[in-house]
Chains A and B, each alone.
Chain A
Amino acid sequence: MSSTQPSKDPSSRRIRVLVAKPGLDGHDRGIKIVAATLRDAGMEVIYAGLRQTPAMVVAAAVQEDVDAIGLSVLSGAHMVIFRETLDLLKSNHCEHILLFGGGIIPPEDVKALQDMGVGRLFLPGTSSDEYIRYLEEEIARRRIQFGRD
């Protein structure tokens, strides 16, 4: 697979993404690869680290003025974590921030989360061009939708 091109319009702001591991699980192989590949694709990446609460994640996302939050959850706690993060984004008037993620999430839960308003969830076997392309397209769309471009 060829490496992806950063955003085609050279004058648009670079995409800023915060990635984090919420909850207790510390398995960070996947999230570090996501962070590195997003950075290599020309995005600005903030890695908030381990043991983040949804409140810490949203606070950091607001402070860093990011376009998207990516959460990695392998522990089975995804319903609780994503729901709480979505609620906090709403209550902080941050609906323009895309919430996406990955990990070990059963297909029925993926559907339930997306029905709630979570973006795409990337499961084992995903290659980096899939999430890079998704973020570029979805964030471009949201910038127009929320008038932030």
Chain B
Amino acid sequence: MGISAALFSGSKCYFFDGARYIRVTRGDEGPGTVDAGYPKPIAQWGWPAGFGQQGIDAALYAGSKCFFFDGNRYIRVTRGETGTGTVDAGYPRPITTWAWPGGFGQSGIDAALYSSTKAYFFDGPLYLRVTRGGSEPWTVDDGYPRTIADVWGWPGRFGRFGIDAALFSGTKCYFFDGNRYIRVTRGDVGPGTVDPGYSKRIHDVWNWPEGFGVGERVVVFFKTLLPLSAGVQSLIDTQYREMRRLFLKFGIEVFFGAVEDLSGNADLEDFLALDVGPCLLGQPTAEHQVLFAQRTGAGPDDLVVYVVQTLEGDNDSLLGCATHPAGRPGAAIVPTPALWLTAHEIGHVLGLRHVCEFPSDTNPNPPTPCVVGSTQSDNVMFPRMTWTRPPPNISAAEAARMLASSLSKPT
């Protein structure tokens, strides 16, 4: 586990980990010193109700202004090097205000980087560069977004699916991906050069307070019964990216295991339509038993998500089902545009239940009836995929339950 955002602020910098943050005094290089009294609750920033309460995705220094990003909204804050500053009038605003091209950042971004006259925004494997000037939105430079892997030259698997945070630091920049980080020497533009010896483990270097930037991790593999076309790959990448971004805010880092194309396996061909029976936890069907035995590469506690064409229950089709045989944790999903379908199912696997139920003839008075538009429909465990203010949320109690799952492990 690492951090979800970092903010350059002159001689100070700020790191955000879920609902807490620290302030660090430092120069261009080195870990600096965590200021006394930190970590502090993120609530101290005094942001508008509902914004960043449980964490933010990204922060961007821009001189006397700072920007903070939470899902598909952001705020602009006027502040000095220290202190929380004042949220400018009219914020939060929708992230679509930035008018990024091609769906970039539609549901949020992972990181933002100040770079003098330029700024960089990161969304999964893509990034874009803008030329700053006046009030946002700033001008997106020609040719963006581009793919991180095509340009930045980061080592190994670092940032393969995106990064969690970026920090401007004078002649250096720092990029954070899970529990590792790299330091890069660069100018205002271009990828620069990764300094020798990087990547490194965050906690070997940064001397953050006990427990800060430390959480649990789960590893998720994807196995597809559909041929691994560009569309299916995109589905998997998107589901993974949104789940990782959501869970990271709440102290759970999702690692990508691998993708396996099972479509050529004749023994599994009829599982394109998987019989999930009643889809109740602890009641796997015979088909669950066979399909979920396909765990090549996954450890006993790793989670495997099977992508099928359709899930057929006893009387109906399902979009996802977290039922799995004992000792073979995982879930099955079908292709949908619901960005947090896998997060919902993995939430079930890690112990979460629906936040509410819709009444029906057979269940006219559920104990917690669903109210569309309430905090229930903002929660990833809302029973429908019509989350009202995406990206959805996770409550503190739910995060604690997931962290306590035997399937999540210390990072």
Q: Do A and B bind each other?
A: no
Please list the residues of chain B having a beta carbon within 8 angstroms of any beta carbon in chain A.
Answer: none
